Amino acid sequence: MDASRTSSVEQDNEVVLNLFRAAWYEYFSWEPLHCSEKISSVRAHHILDRDARLAVLNALEDDILANTEESDGARDTDTALSFTYYDLSSSHEPEHRHIRPEVVPAADTLSAPYPIYESCTPINANILHGDDPNYLPFIPFADDATFDYRDYVYDHKGLAWQEGYRDSDVLAIVLETARRLHRDHGISMEAIDRTGILPLTLCTTSVWGAIWTEKMRASGPPLPDVSPPAADDLKTRLQDYMTLWCPRMDCLQGHCFTHATEQYHLDFDTPAVPGIRRFKLLSAKTSCGDDCADEVKWSGAEIDELKVAVIASSFSFKRKKTKATDSKQSIQPSDTAHPRHLYGSEQPPGFIPNKPCNHPGICVHNSDCACADNAAHCSRSCACSTLCARRWEGCKCTVLLVKQKLHKRGPLHVTVNPCSTDLCPCRRAKRECDPEVCAPCPKDSNCRNMQLQRGVPKLVQAKQSKHGLGLFLAETVNAGDLIIEYVGELIYEATFHSRNELSRHLRRNYVFGLNDQISVDSIRAGNPARFINHASSRRANVEVFILLVNGEQRIGVYAKKQMAPGTELFLDYGPEFPISDEERR
């Protein structure tokens, strides 16, 4: 850091410290008088002395006694339902008036109440929740003596009332200091946070900042939480815009809750393919005319804008390249230390997907490639080249004609849709087909191994069944059809174990394990798939598959046979689900 920059930082630190100290003293000089005035403003306007108060009470007793004597013996229904309202605030004499409420006759018969059910926020995709708060906001089932709350409490760091208190006085002082620094000295919120002087951070990062907290309850003009980029800074503006959108190819929605920790960072300088530059400013070799200006000087901002325009245009009109073996072999990484999974087709037991890789150079170990470090294939969500040797090879399935023998009728030719059997390498590897590398799947709507990413579930209804609420078909389905995707909150193991205390007490569990680290829990947020009831494996008419879809694991519920509308869906929960042996049968 040069001397001028060091001097500027020290000057900012001094300004922030002085203004914070001044705002602190001003606030606590103003607060006592302000609080005294506010408290005084809510006191009673008419203060009666002792004799006046006794007179009011005596008059009130006489009035109540007179009303009681009048109503003895001859009280009709209207009188019994009336009541007297007394007002002692306007004068020394109490004012009163009789009020008769409107009588609504009760119905002869009341309908039976709806059976007990639990609320659930409806969602259509998984939400990354992670872990529950370390501090427990309240003790559940506090009035239920059968619930052992001790183990559940010990799973948390403490109770919410034990958590550190954010003083509202300090919040007001910090925000006033920030306003003065931004208004009078032109210091941005980010620069103020970098000084580390204020006791609260202003901008929201991994925790809510002071500005966001104030926005939730203030009506005045808010402070800028994030400084907007300059109008001519196209790269930063585009980066800010892309930060709001999910970079996953099969998601592409703003403020995505599923991949909340993933962001795409623009890099126009590092080549995605070694030896191929993303952008190069060419020089004119021949004059274009008498007015040719061969000595045009481009500023850094103009070159950055050119990079954005040129590279964005090339991606917008990019065609899918045909698979060329020679081209792929030419950039194939030499990774002899880890050859097992470079071209592997099967997922190892306990496989846990990683985030899409985004790094310079080829995808090999020791190159910051998350896929290589995890012994995984790169996916279409990764930032590497489509010719990356670590990409999944895909399949070349076609429509098959299979001969089947039916007792005495002889052979029968049956058409089998592509990717519907384990002959498909993608299906055999427990992953859906990738439209960028699988030959027929992008244009063939009959591909049976792209149902999750295409989003083609069946119509279902949740309604009363023999076992409480159940899930029923609202249309005909065939064997192998995707009925619905099981979605919920993506939780880590620590939260799974703490919530298990509640599940055992309720005797209801909505958790599906994705892998050894993450589970899908739909007890608080989910879709109708949570209403599928249990049946033994021989009676179950649906089955569940965990498939790798564009680099992430998803749970699909598929039909085991052809079923008509109105059929209730049953699933074998498995041996680990907490139900009795009688219910399991």
| Distance, CA of 540 to chain centre | 32
- How many helices (H) and strands (E) the chain has is answered by 15, 19
CA distances to 234, 581, 585 from 575, rounded to whole Å, are 57, 10, 11
Mean pLDDT, residues 567-581 taken together: 79
DSSP secondary structure letter of residue 162: G
Greatest mean pLDDT range, 33-47, 54-68, 93-107, 207-221: 33-47
Q: What is the spatial distance between Cα 314 and Cα 11, in angstroms, rounded to a whole number?
A: 46
CA distances to 95, 519, 525, 534, 582 from 510, rounded to whole Å, are 60, 10, 10, 12, 20
- Residue carrying the six token digits 């919410």: 160
Query: What is the predicted pLDDT for the residue at 319?
Result: 39
Q: What is the spatial distance between Cα 583 and Cα 203, in angstroms, rounded to a whole number?
A: 53
Greatest mean pLDDT range, 8-12, 221-225, 347-351: 8-12
Beta bridge partners of 97: 85
pLDDT band at 323 (very low <50, low <70, confident <90, very high): very low
Cβ pair 442, 454 in contact under 8 A: no
Q: What is the spatial distance between Cα 441 and Cα 515, in angstroms, rounded to a whole number?
A: 28
Query: What is the predicted pLDDT for the residue at 336?
Result: 46
Amino acid in position 519:
S
pLDDT tens profile 490-541: 999 989 988 888 888 888 889 999 888 999 999 999 999 999 999 988 999 9
Query: What is the predicted pLDDT for the residue at 324?
Result: 39
How many of the other CB atoms lie within 10 Å of CB of 141?
14
Least confident of 2-6, 8-12, 198-202, 563-567: 2-6
Q: What is the spatial distance between Cα 355 and Cα 379, in angstroms, rounded to a whole number?
A: 10
Cβ pair 425, 346 in contact under 8 A: no
What's the N-to-C CA distance of the chain in angstroms?
73
Mean pLDDT, residues 75-98 taken together: 64
Mean pLDDT, residues 366-393 taken together: 85
Output the six-digit token pair for 53.
């108060």
List CB contacts of 284: < 8 A, sequence separation 6 or more. 292, 294
569, 552, 561: which is closest to 251 by C-alpha? Answer: 552
pLDDT tens profile 148-184: 888 888 888 888 887 777 788 999 999 999 989 988 8
List CB contacts of 497: < 8 A, sequence separation 6 or more. 155
The H-or-E segment that residue 128 falls in is: strand 127-130
Mean pLDDT, residues 412-427 taken together: 78
Query: What is the predicted pLDDT for the residue at 135?
Result: 83
**If DSSP codes are grouped into helix, strand and coil, which group holds residue 545?**
strand
Rounded-to-10 torsion of CA 48, 50, 53, 58: -160
Query: What is the predicted pLDDT for the residue at 102?
Result: 79
**If DSSP codes are grouped into helix, strand and coil, which group holds residue 573?**
coil
pLDDT band at 232 (very low <50, low <70, confident <90, very high): confident
Cβ pair 232, 49 in contact under 8 A: no
Whether the predicted pLDDT of 70 surpasses 60: no
CA distances to 324, 363, 374, 388, 485 from 434, rounded to whole Å, are 17, 19, 20, 14, 19
Cβ pair 123, 525 in contact under 8 A: yes
Strand 525-526 relative to strand 518-521: parallel, antiparallel, unpaired?
unpaired
161, 172, 228: which is closest to 200 by C-alpha? Answer: 172
Beta bridge partners of 128: 490
List CB contacts of 95: < 8 A, sequence separation 6 or more. 86, 87, 88
Query: What is the predicted pLDDT for the residue at 316?
Result: 40
Whether the predicted pLDDT of 550 surpasses 90: no
The H-or-E segment that residue 403 falls in is: strand 400-405
DSSP secondary structure letter of residue 145: T
Q: What is the spatial distance between Cα 487 and Cα 149, in angstroms, rounded to a whole number?
A: 28
Query: What is the predicted pLDDT for the residue at 339?
Result: 41
Residue count of the chain: 585
The radius of gyration of the chain from alpha carbons, rounded to an integer in Å, stands at 35
Amino acid in position 271:
P
Burial class of residue 323 in the structure, from the number of CB atoms within 10 Å of its CB (0-12 exposed, 13-18 middle, 19+ buried): middle
Output the six-digit token pair for 498.
């703490």
The rounded mean pLDDT for the chain is 78
List CB contacts of 206: < 8 A, sequence separation 6 or more. none
Q: What is the spatial distance between Cα 452 and Cα 558, in angstroms, rounded to a whole number?
A: 11
Strand 127-130 relative to strand 489-492: parallel, antiparallel, unpaired?
parallel
Q: What is the spatial distance between Cα 479 and Cα 474, in angstroms, rounded to a whole number?
A: 16
Beta bridge partners of 460: 473
Q: What is the spatial distance between Cα 232 and Cα 485, in angstroms, rounded to a whole number?
A: 44
Beta bridge partners of 470: 463
pTM of the model: 0.69
Cβ pair 371, 344 in contact under 8 A: no
pLDDT tens profile 28-68: 999 988 889 888 888 766 665 666 667 767 766 666 666 65
pLDDT tens profile 440-484: 676 656 788 999 988 889 999 999 898 888 999 999 999 999 999
